[in-house]
A and B are shown apart, each in its own frame.
Chain A
Amino acid sequence: DTGVSQDPRHKITKRGQNVTFRCDPISEHNRLYWYRQTLGQGPEFLTYFQNEAQLEKSRLLSDRFSAERPKGSFSTLEIQRTEQGDSAMYLCASSAQGAYNQPQHFGDGTRLSIL
């Protein structure tokens, strides 16, 4: 079990630039989640995939945000025209198919800083 992997761990960019983050879930997990966490707060749900299908999106996910999971394996989260308020930790998690009490396994996140 290699765990959930996220890349990069840190990203610094100028306001207005586009950024893309990658998440590699645990290999046998078909469910994948993205969260955003700002300083001092708990993670906030952004979106959820089952295999390649994006089944739920939070209202936090504005039209500048897009997430994909093209082959049901890794996922990418892209933010276009970044704003100061996008500075946060972006966390990815995965879980196995099964009962609704399956735990989610988290990566260590990508910290985004907007200059």
Chain B
Amino acid sequence: DAKTTQPNSMESNEEEPVHLPCNHSTISGTDYIHWYRQLPSQGPEYVIHGLTSNVNNRMASLAIAEDRKSSTLILHRATLRDAAVYYCILRTLYNFNKFYFGSGTKLNVKP
């Protein structure tokens, strides 16, 4: 399984930007980078994905390093509802139906 490395936990203040890092040094050229988050007592929720270029949607932005060995999920203004576990996942071409979630980053947002 393609592996990613994330910090166990991070803390942010409400209404401030949050940058959640992910390392994926063994990424291959066809691997997509996906981010999901899981709020307490809920199933994971899709956030964003990208291949090479930076991506923006209504929830977040994804910044991908030029060598693609790392990426950063950016929440532009954290709210209390953003407190969740964030998972960075590589979606591989040869095994694309099998997600490897890892332990993710638990984000705490302080009011």
Taking Cβ atoms with an 8 Å cutoff, the residues of A that contact B are 4, 31, 33, 35, 40-45, 48, 55-56, 58, 91, 93, 100-101, 103-109
Q: Complex formed: what's the CA distance from A33 to B99 in Å?
A: 10
Min distance, Cβ A67 to any Cβ of chain B, angstroms: 14
CB pair A41 B103 closer than 8 Å: yes
- In the complex, the chain B residue whose C-beta lies closest to that of A91 is B43
Taking Cβ atoms with an 8 Å cutoff, the residues of B that contact A are 32, 34, 41-46, 49, 51, 85, 87, 91, 93, 96-104
- Chain B residues with CB under 8 Å of A107's CB are 43
Q: Residue B101 contacts which of A43, A56, A105 (CB distance < 8 angstroms)? A: A43
CB pair A33 B97 closer than 8 Å: yes
Min distance, Cβ B58 to any Cβ of chain A, angstroms: 14
Q: Residue A101 contacts which of B44, B45, B91, B104 (CB distance < 8 angstroms)? A: B91
Min distance, Cβ A60 to any Cβ of chain B, angstroms: 12
CB pair B104 A100 closer than 8 Å: no
Q: Complex formed: what's the CA distance from A31 to B99 in Å?
A: 13
CB pair A104 B103 closer than 8 Å: no
CB pair B104 A93 closer than 8 Å: no
- Chain A residues with CB under 8 Å of B102's CB are 42
Q: Complex formed: what's the CA distance from A55 to B95 in Å?
A: 12
- Chain A residues with CB under 8 Å of B51's CB are 101
Q: Complex formed: what's the CA distance from A103 to B105 in Å?
A: 20
A48 with B96, Cβ < 8 A, contacts A4-B43, A106-B43 known: no
- Chain B residues with CB under 8 Å of A104's CB are 44, 46, 99
CB pair A106 B44 closer than 8 Å: yes
Min distance, Cβ A36 to any Cβ of chain B, angstroms: 11
Q: Residue B49 contacts which of A48, A103, A108 (CB distance < 8 angstroms)? A: A103
